Every structure is written in structure tokens, then in C-alpha cells.
Amino acid sequence: MWLPNLEFDDYVITDDTLSSFLSYRDFIDKKLPLHRSPVIESLLLRFRQSILPQPEKFKQWVEIAVSRSLRELSVVYYWFIAKPFDALSFPSSLYTCSSLTTLKLQGGNVLVDVPPTVCLPSLKTLQLRFVDEDSLRLILSSCPVLEDLLIELKREYKTRVINVNIPSLQRLSLWLVGDVRYFSESYVVATPCLKYLKIVAEKESFISLTEPMVKLEEADIDVVEDVEKILQSVTSVRRLSLRALCNSPQEFVYPVGIVFNQLQHLKLCICRKDWSSLLILFLENSPKLQVLKLYVDTSMSNIRLLNYRFQRILKLQGLIPNRR
């Protein structure tokens, strides 16, 4: 009862019966109020296969943790047959918890309903995998020291505008997957101190990087079309992973005058017809490149032809001897 780190995870239940799941839920309900540690460093609540937790009881559990100067909260709740009223919401005290440094919320049944009075002065890590536009705007504007942000949007959540303008932010991950008709009309990213950027998007044209990220050291880009716009803002990276699909017959257009002066590690996916041109452009415009990793998309089946083209490119660039 004095442990500062608590994990409640129904995945470890081996007896797949209703009574076992009820016992699991009752265990949390009875034991968590008796917890005596003055500070709860971390609390994990994961529901993946058990019966639905009661929303009011869930609120009480979080309220108890907040009263113990909670530092880190992680909630995972996937229940694919749940109804809208089965969603789990949080007490308002969570959104004004001054001790909270990490908040990770995952699952379509976790409701992020941020009140207007939100204030999280110590929050440094935030992961939101399902969130509406208003709640996202409120919570991002109330985290003055936020350093690590992950946002995942899926087709169920219609969002018009997302602005990520956080001077303190160092790591940003944007996951935009699903039907593009449900996606934002505008994703604006202005983060001058960013060191790591990850973008996974099925419609990259919605993303706007408003200024070059001069402190950026690593980028992981997985987009469909118009990757040129992103590359113009990430020229300072030392490590770059790129998977750029193209649904149109138009070939990739490398931005004129763009040079990756600091790039040392390049990981490039072979997943488009003009991949060899893209590789040559990177080789010609990355004077400090030391490590090159190529990997083949599962949809590309002619490995022998790809290997032949790659050998030709290396010979033309003078990277390997021109042997028979």
C-alpha cells in the first residue's frame, strides 16, 4: 500500500471468466482508496479485455491519484462494442493538477473533455490519441513547459484546425490516419526549439511547417504526396527516415537549392517508381552522409530489379568500383 508506482492491467488475467474480470475491477475499487503513499509517481490503468469499468468509479480512482500528488497517468481503454455512454471521462481536478508531468491517454473510449479552467504547469509529456479540436486547443495553451507531444487523429474525429505553437516543445509526433475527409483543413506547426519530428499522414498537403526548424536533429517522415514542403523545413537534421508515397503520376520534385549539410544517417523506403531519382538527389545534396539504409515496401516485389538499379546508382556516384 506504500508503492509509488501502480499498474492495473487486465491483460495479465489468465482466467477468462466474468467473475475474474469483476474481481479485477473490484480489486481496484477497494484497494486504491486505501493507498497510503503521499506521492503516486505513476498510475497505469489498462482495460483491453475485461468488462467495462464504471465511469463514476473510474473518476474516483483518478481523483484519488490526483490527491496523492500524481506525477504520471497512463490510461488505455479499447472496447470496440462499447456505446457512447460507456466512454471514460476524467474529473476536473486532473486538468488542474500541478504535480502532473506526464499524461498518456489511448483508446477511442477515453473522452478528453477539457474544461475552460485547465492549467497544467508541470506537464512535460502529453500523448493524446483521440481528441476533438476545442479540447486540444485548450490543453495545448495551458502547458507552458511541454516538451514531448504526440497527437493521433483518426477518421472518427472531425477537426478543422490544429495549431501547434509551443516554444518549449522538443519532440513532436503527428499521426493522421484514416479517411482524409475527416481530417483537419489545416495543421500549423511552429516549434522553433524542436529537436525531433515525426509525421505519419495520409494527406500531407494539410500540414504547414511555418518556419525552418534550425535545431531539428532527427525527423521521421511517412506521408502521401507533397513531401517537398516538409523537406524544406527539416534541412538541419542529422538523421532522416523518409517514406514518401505518391498517388499521382507526377514525379518527385526536389526543392531547388535545398542542401542537407548536417545529414549523416539516411533511411529511405523504396516505395515509388521514381525512388532512384530521389536517392540520387539525396546523395548529391548531403555532403556529410555516412550511413545509408534502404528498405523495401512490402508492395514492391521485384527485389532483383531493385538491387540492380541500386548497384547502378552507387557506381554512377563513385561509391563502389565499376566492376563486371
pLDDT digits (tens, 9 = 90+) for 58-84: 899 999 999 999 999 999 887 655 454
Q: What is the pLDDT, as a whole number, of residue 191?
A: 75
pLDDT digits (tens, 9 = 90+) for 79-124: 655 454 567 889 999 999 999 999 999 877 788 888 888 999 999 9
pLDDT of residue 76: 87
Cα–Cα distance for residue pair 195/158, rounded to 1 Å = 29
DSSP 8-state assignment for residue 225: S
Q: Which residues contact 124 (CB under 8 A, 6 or more apart)?
A: 101, 102, 145, 146, 147, 148
Where does the pLDDT of residue 265 fall: very low under 50, low under 70, confident under 90, or very high at 90 and above?
Answer: very high
Range 234-249 burial, b when 16+ CB lie within 10 A, else e: bbbbebbbbbbbbeee
Helices (H), 32-75: 55-67
Q: What's the pLDDT score for residue 304?
A: 52
pLDDT tier, 146 (very low <50, low <70, confident <90, very high otherwise) = very high
- Which of 31-40, 254-263, 274-283 holds the top average pLDDT? 31-40
pLDDT recorded at residue 323: 47
Question: In 3-state terms, what secondary structure has residue 214?
Answer: coil
Residue 145 — pLDDT band, cuts 50, 70, 90? very high
Return the pLDDT at 137: 83
Question: Grid coordinates representing 277?
Answer: 531519382
The string of DSSP letters for 71-134 reads -EEEEEE--TT--GGG-B---GGGGG-TT--EEEEESTTB-----TT---TT--EEEESS--HH
Q: Which residue has the cell 548531403?
A: 286
C-alpha torsion angle, residues 54, 59, 64, 69 (rounded to 10):
140
Max mean pLDDT range (37-51, 59-73, 300-314): 59-73
Q: Residue 209: what pLDDT?
A: 66
Can you give the pTM of this predicted structure? 0.81
| Mean pLDDT across 272-280 | 76
Per the structure block, which three cell numbers stand in for 50? 475485461
pLDDT band at 204 (very low <50, low <70, confident <90, very high): very low
